[in-house]
């Protein structure tokens, strides 16, 4: 029997995902979400309220509130404001096991218990995935010769330059260590070309995903999530082309534990979004999109809209402030936002309005921590759109 190399397997997988050589849609496209742009479903509604505006999340058909709830500040002791947001029409909750080491998911569990689960679309992420991926290659890297290490580092640097990740307005600098994460992912991407078969792939990828989702479901006290984002914080387009992601997703989908596959990306969001679209398996991406990086993102976001691929904007407000959730604005970025969205609204509200002014965005995420922020942020959906 002829041995099929992993490179050949990946190529065949991607061809199937794209429908190459297959009549109609590709195999993975059909099994992942059962539809293409040509068969986009009618909208699926939850918790529709007159106080809120809604947009369709691509081919998922989910009619989601234009403001969605970020999970980073949520915990068992800080979650009651989410109920107010839901009463005002918000219907999409975002979370991840990395948020408070599971505290966010546990905080949401009280909000969605019982019949209240059906009021919202629920998304969680596979937070351990990138770490597992990068560490697998780091372990191989440490045993290589200095010459080989130097070659890999040189090629990784070229990758980052080519994709413009070194440009401050594209990178964004949303948190400490962001560029270092981009470097690690680029190193893994370069090594994947030569050393992929040296990794224990099922343990590194499939088992990591399934364990993460099953643990998340326990913390959330629900039997399924509507959307699984993997990777959580992809920093390279290569990270959405790993076929074991599709295998794990399909297993979980058939078990009724997840419905659709998505990805989130702070770093190199344009490349990650484009790569996710091209797989034919992903249906949604949550990407950093704001007044600072708009030139890099908007052509790809427009393409996503044409292909009925859902896009949620994140880091809309953080881009205007110093890193690590600082409350200190960056003067030139604040001025840029004020020029784009004139008027008396605060910077956070203007940032959300900027994102929503793009008709190809499905929603913008907001990390709200109390009732006051809910009352301030949700009315942004009714604010007059700027033409700047």
Task: Identify the pLDDT of residue 40.
Answer: 57
Q: Would you state the pLDDT for residue 13?
A: 42
Check if the beta carbon of residue 61 is closer than 8 Å to that of residue 34.
Answer: no
Positive or negative: CA dihedral 70, 74, 80, 83 = positive
Give the model's pLDDT for residue 11: 44
Domains of the chain: 38-131+197-382 (3.20.20.100)
**pTM to 2 decimal places:** 0.89
pLDDT tens profile 137-152: 999 999 999 999 999 9
- pLDDT confidence of 41, banded at 50, 70, 90? low
In this predicted model, what pLDDT tens digit does every residue of 299-344 receive, in sequence order? 999 999 999 999 999 999 999 999 888 889 999 999 999 999 999 9
| Confidence class for position 376, pLDDT limits 50, 70, 90 | very high
pLDDT at 386: 52
Of 263, 352, 357, residue with least CA distance to 309: 263
Q: Give the per-residue pLDDT at 129.
A: 98
pLDDT above 70 as % of the chain: 88
Question: Largest Cα–Cα distance of the chain, in whole Å?
Answer: 71
For range 15-41, the mean pLDDT: 39
Residues whose CB falls within 8 Å of the CB of residue 22, separated by 6 or more in sequence, listed in order = 16
Residue 263's nearest CA partner among 274, 252, 255 is: 274
Q: How high does pLDDT run on average in the chain?
A: 90
Confidence check: pLDDT of 20 > 60:
no
Residue range 91-128, pLDDT digits in tens: 999 999 999 999 999 999 999 998 899 999 999 999 99
| Of the listed ranges 27-31, 46-50, 374-378, the one predicted with least confidence | 27-31
Relative to beta strand 67-69, strand 363-366 is: parallel
Whether 221 shows a pLDDT value over 60: the answer reads: yes
Binning pLDDT at 50, 70 and 90, where does residue 6 land?
Answer: very low
Q: pLDDT grade, residue 17 (50/70/90)? A: very low
pLDDT value at 181 more than 60: yes
Q: What is the pLDDT of residue 31?
A: 38
Phi, psi of 112 (to 5 degrees): -105, 10
Average pLDDT over residues 258-275: 98
Residue of 11, 7, 3 whose CA lies nearest to 197: 7
Q: Is residue 46 a contact partner of residue 120, using CB atoms and an 8 Å limit?
A: yes
Least confident of 32-36, 177-181, 188-192, 273-277: 32-36
In this predicted structure, the answer to whether residue 29 has a pLDDT above a threshold of 90 is no
| 296 alpha carbon, distance to own chain's centre | 17
pLDDT at 384: 64
Alpha-carbon span 105 to 75, nearest angstrom: 7
Does 172 have pLDDT greater than 50? yes
One-character DSSP codes across 10-22: HHHHHHHHHTTTS
Distance CA 353, CA 383 (A): 7
**Which residues, listed in sequence order, are joined to residue 93 by a DSSP beta bridge?**
69, 122
């Amino acid at each position: 029997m002829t041995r099929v190399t992993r490179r050949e397997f990946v190529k065949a997988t991607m061809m199937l995902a794209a429908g190459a050589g297959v009549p109609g849609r590709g195999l993975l496209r059909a099994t992942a979400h059962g539809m293409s742009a040509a068969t986009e479903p009618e909208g699926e509604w939850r918790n529709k309220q007159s106080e809120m505006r809604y947009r369709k999340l691509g081919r998922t058909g989910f009619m989601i509130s234009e403001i969605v709830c970020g999970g980073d500040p949520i915990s068992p002791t800080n979650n009651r404001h989410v109920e107010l947001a839901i009463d005002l029409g918000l219907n999409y909750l975002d979370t991840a096991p990395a948020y408070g080491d599971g505290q966010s998911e546990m905080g949401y569990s009280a909000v969605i218990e019982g019949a209240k689960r059906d009021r919202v679309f629920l998304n969680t992420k596979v937070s351990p995935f990138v770490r597992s991926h990068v560490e697998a290659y780091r372990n191989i890297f440490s045993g290589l010769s200095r010459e080989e290490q130097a070659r890999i580092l040189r090629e990784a640097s070229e990758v980052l330059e080519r994709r413009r990740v070194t440009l401050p307005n594209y990178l964004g600098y949303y948190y400490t260590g962001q560029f270092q994460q981009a470097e690690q992912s680029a190193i893994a991407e370069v090594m994947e070309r030569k050393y992929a078969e040296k990794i224990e792939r099922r343990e590194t990828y499939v088992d990591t995903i399934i364990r993460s989702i099953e643990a998340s479901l326990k913390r959330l006290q629900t039997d399924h999530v509507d959307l699984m984002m993997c990777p959580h914080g992809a920093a390279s387009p290569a990270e959405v082309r790993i076929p074991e992601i599709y295998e794990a997703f399909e297993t979980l989908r058939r078990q009724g534990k997840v419905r659709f596959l998505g990805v989130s990306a702070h770093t190199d969001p344009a490349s990650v979004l484009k790569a996710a679209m091209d797989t034919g398996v992903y249906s949604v991406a949550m990407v950093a999109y704001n007044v600072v990086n708009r030139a890099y993102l908007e052509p790809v976001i427009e393409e996503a809209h044409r292909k009925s691929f859902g896009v949620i904007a994140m880091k809309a407000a953080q881009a205007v402030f110093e890193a690590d959730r600082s409350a200190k604005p960056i003067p030139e970025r604040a001025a840029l936002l004020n020029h784009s969205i004139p008027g008396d609204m605060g910077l956070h509200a203007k940032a959300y309005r900027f994102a929503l002014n793009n008709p190809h965005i499905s929603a913008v995420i907001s990390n709200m921590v109390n009732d006051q922020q809910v009352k301030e942020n949700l009315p942004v959906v009714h604010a007059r759109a700027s033409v700047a």
